[in-house]
Amino acid sequence: MKAEYVRTIVQLALTEDIGDGDITTDNLIPQPSRSKARLIAQAPGIICGLSVAREVFKTLNPRIVFRTLVEDGQKVRPGQVIAIISGPTRILLTGERVALNFLTHLSGIATTTRTYVQAVKPYKTAIMDTRKTTPLLRQLERYAVRQGGGVNHRFNLNDMVMIKDNHRVFCLPGIPEAVGRLKLKTRAAIEVEVDNFDQLKEALRSTADIILLDNMTPAKAAQAVKIARRAKSRALLEASGGITPENIKRYAATGVDRISIGALTHSPRILDISMELE
C-alpha cells in the first residue's frame, strides 16, 4: 500500500467521523489527562490493518505511542492483546471508532480469505479477489486479501482485458478474432468469460490467457477442465460465481487453476476487536 494513499483515506475518515469536534470527549475529559489503551481480539481470526489503525492515532497526535504485539497476517485468539496505545486520553477516545472500523473490517477480510485458502490447501488452486470492493478502499482490501493468503485479481480496468458477457455482442465475427485484434493492441493478459460449453470451446480456439467459468456447478467445471485438456489449451481456467466455504473444495478438486470470490471483499464478517482503557 502506498503511504500517501493510507494517509489520505485516514484523513477523510477522521474528517467524516469527527466533524466539527468530539463534543462528548472534549467536554468530559480534562485536556492534560493521559491514558493507556489495549486493542483486544474478541474472536479468533487473522489480524490485518494495524498500520492503518496506527496512522489514525498518529494523524490526531504524532506523539501517540502505538506498540503492536502481533503482525498483520497473524492468527489471534479471543482475549489476546494485539496492540497497546499510550497518549492523551482525548486522542485515544476520539480516534477509537475510526481505528477499529479499519481494523475490524480488514481483519474480517483476511480471516474470510484464510478460511477459503485453508479449504483448498490440498490443491494448487489460487484464491483470488475481484473488483467488488468498497469504493476508494480497494488498496486496503486487496492488502487484506493477501494477508489472508489470497491472490489479487486485476486492480482496475487498465490492468488486463476481460471480455465479459456484455462485451460478447461486440466480438464479431467471434471470440478468436476479437482476442486476436486485442493482442495487436495491448500486451495485457486477456481473460474471456464463458457460461456454457459452446462458449468455452470458442474461447479455447482463441489465444486468450485465461478463461473464466462463470456460475458453473462443480460438475460442469470438472467437465470444462476435461474439455480444455483435450484441446491442449495453455489458458488458465478460473471458476467464479456461487462459490461458498461449503462447496469451494469441490471446485478446487475439478482442477481449475484459480477461483475468484467477490464475497472476500463485498460481504466479509468483521473480526470483533475492542479498545479498553486501563
pLDDT (mean) for 159-168: 94
Mean pLDDT score of the chain, rounded to an integer?
97
What is the band of 192 on the pLDDT scale with cuts at 50, 70, 90? Answer: very high
- Asked if 132 is an active-site residue, the reply is yes
- Among left, alpha and beta (phi > 0; psi -120 to 50; other), residue 136 is left
All cell numbers assigned to 247: 462447496
- Whether residue 218 has pLDDT greater than 90: yes
- Asked if 97 is an active-site residue, the reply is yes
Q: Which of 97, 183, 205, 220 is catalytic?
A: 97
Topology of the domain covering 3-117+269-277: Aldehyde Oxidoreductase; domain 3 (3.90.1170)
What pLDDT sits at residue 66?
98
- Asked if 193 is an active-site residue, the reply is yes
Q: Which of 58, 214, 238, 258 is catalytic?
A: 214
Q: How far apart are CA 110 and CA 96, in angstroms?
A: 21
Domain boundaries, the chain: 3-117+269-277, 120-266
3-117+269-277 and 120-266 have identical folds: no
CATH architecture of 120-266: Alpha-Beta Barrel (3.20)
pTM: 0.95
Q: From the CB of residue 5, how many other CB atoms can be counted at a distance below 10 Å? A: 13
